[in-house]
């Protein structure tokens, strides 16, 4: 337990020294019952809102806070969490933004989620067709790929399965469609609700 609190104290000191940007770290805790009680007494003060996913009780979302001021965790803060393998089963991050989608049809501004490769595993997200990101695609300079939400696939592509492997432009940057999510994945917990998911390719250095 002493090591756990030392890890938490170190992480919080690190977070306060770093400027925030729109990055949310999702941490899955693999702790015993007593440790869970301790960590959630801290988590309750910084959690944004309940997460909706299988095993949701083991998922928490963190922001940094200094008194009345709060900010979203930065890239280096996330990297600290990611290294705490003795405390967390896995760590993922996402950032939401609007970009223009073009694919030969009328351009459309859509919400896009940049996520680390662990995101789909943590949320137990299933694909209808194709696949989600490989770790090699989530590294800086990695391949530019995209996973479509079921809603966008239905609305924009009329449920066309041949969209897999097609190039679409997101913010004038070409991405290859590699997967389509099932309609069961609840995107209402995100604001805005993402239409496309792309690798974060986060560089913490």
Number of domains in the chain: 2
Residue 111 confidence (pLDDT): 96
pLDDT at 105: 80
Q: How many CB atoms lie within 10 A of CB 91?
A: 23
pTM for this prediction: 0.66
Q: Which of 7-16, 36-45, 107-116, 144-153 has the lowest mean pLDDT?
A: 36-45
What does the alpha-carbon distance between residue 113 and residue 97 come to, in Å, rounded to a whole number? 7
Statement to judge: residues 104 and 119 lie in one domain: yes
Exposure letters 3-36 (e unless 16+ CB within 10 A, then b): ebeebeeebbebbeebebeebbbbbbbebeeeee
* 119 and 38 within one domain: no
Residue at which a domain ends, from 46, 71, 94: 94
Averaged over 111-137, what is the pLDDT? Answer: 91
Same domain, 140 and 194: yes
What integer is the mean pLDDT of 70-78?
58
Is 18 a residue whose pLDDT tops 80?
Answer: no
Q: What is the pLDDT of residue 172?
A: 93
- pLDDT for 26: 44
Checking if the pLDDT of 178 tops 50, the result is yes
Does residue 113 or residue 15 have the better pLDDT? 113
Residue 101 has pLDDT above 60, yes or no: yes
Q: Give the helix ranges, DSSP H, for 17-88.
A: 33-43, 75-83
The mean pLDDT value of the chain amounts to 73
Parent domain of 166? 95-199
Q: Are residues 75 and 38 in the same domain?
A: yes
Which residues make Cβ contacts (< 8 Å) with residue 87, sequence separation at least 6?
A: 4, 7, 29, 30, 31
**30 or 185: whose pLDDT is higher?**
185
In a domain, 166, yes or no: yes
Same domain, 109 and 188: yes
CB atoms within 10 A of CB 136: 10
151 pLDDT above the threshold of 80: yes
Segment 145-153 mean pLDDT: 97
Tell whether 205 is covered by a domain: no
Comparing 4-8, 105-109, 154-158, the range with the smallest average pLDDT is 4-8
Q: Are 35 and 1 in contact (CB under 8 A)?
A: yes
């Amino acid at each position: 337990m002493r090591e756990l609190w030392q890890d938490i104290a170190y992480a919080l000191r690190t977070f306060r020294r770093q400027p925030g940007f729109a990055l949310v770290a999702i941490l899955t805790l693999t702790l015993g019952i007593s440790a869970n009680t301790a960590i959630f007494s801290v988590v309750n003060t910084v959690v944004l809102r309940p997460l909706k996913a299988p095993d949701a009780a083991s998922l928490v979302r963190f922001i940094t806070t200094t008194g009345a001021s709060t900010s979203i965790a930065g890239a280096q803060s996330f990297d600290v969490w990611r290294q705490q393998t003795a405390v967390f089963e896995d760590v993922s991050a996402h950032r939401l933004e609007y970009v223009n989608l073009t694919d030969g049809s009328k351009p459309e501004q859509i919400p896009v989620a940049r996520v680390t490769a662990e995101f789909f595993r943590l949320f137990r997200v299933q694909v209808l067709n194709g696949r989600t990101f490989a770790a090699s695609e989530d590294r800086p300079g990695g391949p530019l790929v995209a996973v479509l939400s079921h809603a966008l696939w239905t609305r924009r592509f009329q449920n066309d399965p041949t969209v897999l492997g097609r190039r679409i432009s997101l913010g004038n940057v070409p991405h290859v469609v590699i997967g389509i999510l099932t309609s069961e994945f609840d995107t209402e917990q995100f604001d805005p609700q993402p239409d496309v998911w792309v690798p974060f390719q986060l560089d913490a250095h």
